[in-house]
Structure 1
């Protein structure tokens, strides 16, 4: 008889932030753990299908950052990538994780690499899905976006243009050969959370802070060279933000990284879960 995995939905308090997270309960208590770090403009819900696919075999944990999903942050929370990493660091400690692999996607890369720099002993391996750590992986459009500054006329309007339903849907559909495979609930749910009070202001603050990530690329690369974690890279090659050279660039610092490319856009799991999930399973089994 086919059995679906048990998925639990919880919150834990971290420095005044109520962090919401999803966790699969595998059949084996000693199963490998994978921390799933979501991207923009999404949340832990982007991993719903992956949790169902692999949650019976592995412990998968997917938190929402402050400013995303179901997580609730105080009104005076200051949004930056350092602060997101602070909260996820506290989250990991609060649920008593000791050693785990990380899935870093989009915003998950700057959060995850900050975590790795602070606690290299925690990281058993990396699954990188369109999670950029190299200037070679920035498209011209991404470079222009990163260069935006608060004092520039029209800069905030440019950012807010991405926070509309049209902008959110476009991030899912760009580069996808057959959009009929995309579930409309994905971008509609993202937009629901973006439209909550204070959420767009949080995203504007994070957009203006994105340059801090590019400035940190050399540190992340040094960490990769020093620790050479087992690394699986899966990449949608039609991503309008993070281009294919950003995936190949990992080989300079982690020569044994395993690379797989898919003819799709930014949200590769939305279109290629049947191909990506087995790769993750095999990777976790090898750790």
Structure 2
């Protein structure tokens, strides 16, 4: 009988931030390590399906970014992607990680690429799920949203419109052929965290800072070409923000990457975790 998957729920203090993270407890002390960075407007709970399926065989570690989930940042914390990457670096060092595969999704991609760029020796492999790094992958809706700046008339209202319950739900169900397959738990919990003091301000600040990621695409693509990490690309092809073209674009710089497209939306794990989990397992087995 296969041992049941177990997950510990912990905190660690990094740079004055009380970082919450989930860590699986695999059967083997030398199990391959996978660091999972979550996206907007969610938190590490978005990976619950992968933990359920893989926690007994692999050491999965998924922190909540500042401004998300159970992580507690001090008043006055500056929410930028550079700061999130700094915090993630500190988190990796606090846990003593030296070599791991990196799973990036949505906001987690620009955080993860910054970390990888600074510490290429850490990265044993790269798993990308609807995490964009190419102009090809930006839909018209994404370009319109990400063009907003705080000093533009109406920009604050436009950005904060993405933080309502209806908007959060739409991120989960848009592009999903059978919306009954998407449990309401994810967007309900995301909205709960957005209701906490200061959280909408934090997420709005990150949306306004997202242009720094687009401006870094060329640099990250050069990093991929230089270091050629083993890569697995899994993508919901009906994502309204990060399009299928963004998934295929990775093959220009990583021609040996494994690409799988799924007929679903942005949060592909909500509907296709049963198909994606074995791909992740096989990838970890052959890269670590």
Range of TM-score over shorter length: over 0.9
* Residue 139 (structure 1) aligns with: 139
Separation in structure 2 between the aligned mates of residue 186 and residue 150 of structure 1, nearest angstrom: 29
Note if 1:164 corresponds to 2:170. no
Runs of 4+ in 1 over 2 A off after TM superposition: none
What SS does the corresponding residue of 2:4 show, helix, strand or coil? coil
- What residue in structure 2 maps to residue 95 of structure 1? 95
SS in 2 for 1:162: helix
- Number of equivalent positions: 287
> 1 CA distance for matches of 2:173 and 2:49?
18
Q: Give 3-state SS (helix, strand or coil) of 2:126's partner.
A: strand
Q: TM-score, normalised by structure 2?
A: 0.99
Is 1:75 the counterpart of 2:43? The answer is no
Q: 1:126: which partner in 2? A: 126
Distance in 1 separating the partners of 2:233 and 2:67: 27
Superposed displacement of residue 2, structure 1? 4.5
Offset of residue 146 of structure 1: 1.0
Match of 1:195 in 2: 195
- How far has the Cα of 1:3 moved from its partner? 3.2
CA distance in 2, matches of 1:64, 1:111: 12
3-state DSSP of counterpart to 1:45 = helix
1:250 positional shift: 0.5
1:246 paired with 2:243, answer no
User: For 1:117 and 1:126, how far apart are their aligned partners in 2?
Assistant: 12
- Write the deviation string for residues 14-48 of structure 1: whole angstroms up to 9, x where unpaired: 01000000000111111110000000000000011
SS in 2 for 1:171: helix
Q: Which moved more, 1:2-11 or 1:155-164?
A: 2-11
1:281 paired to 2:284: no
Q: Secondary structure at the match of 1:39?
A: coil
The whole-number CA distance in structure 2 between the counterparts of 1:161 and 1:208 is: 13
Matches within 5 A, 1:188-227: 188-227=188-227
> Who is 2:54 aligned against?
54
Give the distance between the partners of 1:268 and 1:152, measured in 2 at CA. Answer: 33
1:61-98 alpha-carbon deviations (Å, 9 max, x no partner): 00000000000000110000000001111000000001
Give the equivalent residue in structure 1 for 2:272.
272
Question: 2-side partners of 1:183 and 1:23: how far apart?
Answer: 23
Other-structure match for 1:237: 237
Give me the whole-angstrom Cα distance separating, in 2, the residues matched to 1:54 and 1:104: 17
Structure 1 counterpart of 2:183: 183
The answer for the alignment partner of 1:30 in structure 2 is 30
Aligned partner of residue 282 in structure 1, secondary structure: helix
> What residue ranges of structure 1 are gaps of 5+ in the alignment?
none
C-alpha separation in 1, matches of 2:221 and 2:112: 13
CA distance in 2, matches of 1:35, 1:219: 22
Q: How far does the alpha carbon of each residue in 1:98-131 deviate from its partner, in whole angstroms, 9 at most, with x for none?
A: 1000000000100000000110000000000000
